[in-house]
Amino acid sequence: MPKKRVKIPSNIETELLYQSARTCCVCRAPKLPVQVHHIDQNPSNNDIENLIVLCTNCHDEAHTKHDLSQNLNATRLKAFRAIWHNEVLEKSSQAMLPSGNLSQAMWTFVNHQRVPHVMRSADIEFDPYLKELLTKENIIDQLGIPLFPKKEIDKIHKTIYDYFSWDNSQRLHFLYTHAVDDIILNLNPIEIGAIWSKKEILDLVSPGNLIFCMKGMYFKSADIVDGEEDRYVYSSSKGVEIRFYANTRHMYGNSALYNSFSGHKFVATLLLVKNLGSENDKLVIDCTPLALGYGFVSSEYKTPHPLKYGWYTFQMRTRLKKNEF
């Protein structure tokens, strides 16, 4: 008796397509239409571990019997799937680092309140040498949160770095920019540009998730209160809007304060999702920023995901031979 086909739930399909970067796990050929194949050939078993993304050619192969060594059997499909999913996850996170493939890029806003909490909840450690040094100098507490000395600062904008000597503020910035990189490598943020549609975002993103995107954003200035300003930041397209406040105290240097994060700028953002809601038919993602980066270049952004913004469709592929497993 033929097995009954059960429609794959939308959230499972979205997750699978994201995990495989919408690319055939076997041949990894870019830009080919893909299909979802049931590894155990049972079309009612929609457990995500039983599903694999294949192009039409490899899908036909998976349903064809050759002599044994050539078969795309379940064992080999699972191996292709595991290796490709792992590669997508790693390369996607690597691509988000300023130090990796992106020249001139740097985190010039780091949320000194939230980053230590995210690190603690994920068991990620600050650089031990720098942390010890800065703790001894009373720059940070045991959690890594900066301790402000009482100090008169004669500036329109006061940033965290203004409170310390030049070399200690450099060390503090170094400690935090590396912490952001470690968060990315350990927690693998969701590349929101790969799922930029209401349906897919609702399928895949929940409050508490870390998301990443590189995009043109609007920065709206607000009143300066006691040297600090909560800049309202948003970016909207295709019925989806991301928004958050970026407090100027976390900004590093005058170019960040007055240039990189003002007006309309192309920035890299690492955000913690607070809430998903709808407003006038628009999906609104309210976030807390963990880090904002400037100097990121879209043409050097080597994510394996095809992005839906329309500005970039870079795809990094290494073709594997089918008989590699």
Q: Which residues of this chain interact with Zn ion, rule CB under 5 A?
A: 24, 26-27, 55, 58
Q: Rank residues 30 and 295 by Cβ distance to Zn ion and give the closer one.
A: 30
CB of 130 to Zn ion, least distance (A): 46
Distances (CA, A) of 71 to 51, 53, 66, 68, 275: 18, 17, 6, 5, 46
CB of 17 to Zn ion, least distance (A): 14
For 86, the token pair is 């792992």
CB of 316 to Zn ion, least distance (A): 16
CB of 56 to Zn ion, least distance (A): 8
Q: Rank residues 57 and 104 by Cβ distance to Zn ion and give the closer one.
A: 57
Q: Rank residues 55 and 115 by Cβ distance to Zn ion and give the closer one.
A: 55
CB of 10 to Zn ion, least distance (A): 23
Distances (CA, A) of 230 to 1, 227, 250, 257, 261: 64, 10, 10, 12, 12
Q: CA-CA distance, 130 to 128, in Å (whole number)?
A: 6
Q: Rank residues 24 and 139 by Cβ distance to Zn ion and give the closer one.
A: 24
CB of 321 to Zn ion, least distance (A): 12
Beta strands in the chain (DSSP E): 34-38, 51-55, 106-110, 190-191, 210-220, 230-237, 240-247, 263-279, 282-294
Q: Rank residues 16 and 27 by Cβ distance to Zn ion and give the closer one.
A: 27
Residue with tokens 């493939």: 101
Q: Rank residues 55 and 183 by Cβ distance to Zn ion and give the closer one.
A: 55
Q: CA-CA distance, 73 to 306, in Å (whole number)?
A: 28
Q: Could you please report the per-residue DSSP string of 184-237?
A: HHHH--EEGGGG-SHHHHHHH--TT-EEEEEEEEEEE----BTTB-EEEEEEEE
Radius of gyration, alpha carbons of the chain: 23
Q: Rank residues 24 and 51 by Cβ distance to Zn ion and give the closer one.
A: 24
CB of 31 to Zn ion, least distance (A): 12
Q: Could you please report the per-residue DSSP string of 38-53?
A: ETTS-TT---GGGEEE
Which residue, 193, 194, 178, 187, is CA-closest to 209? 187
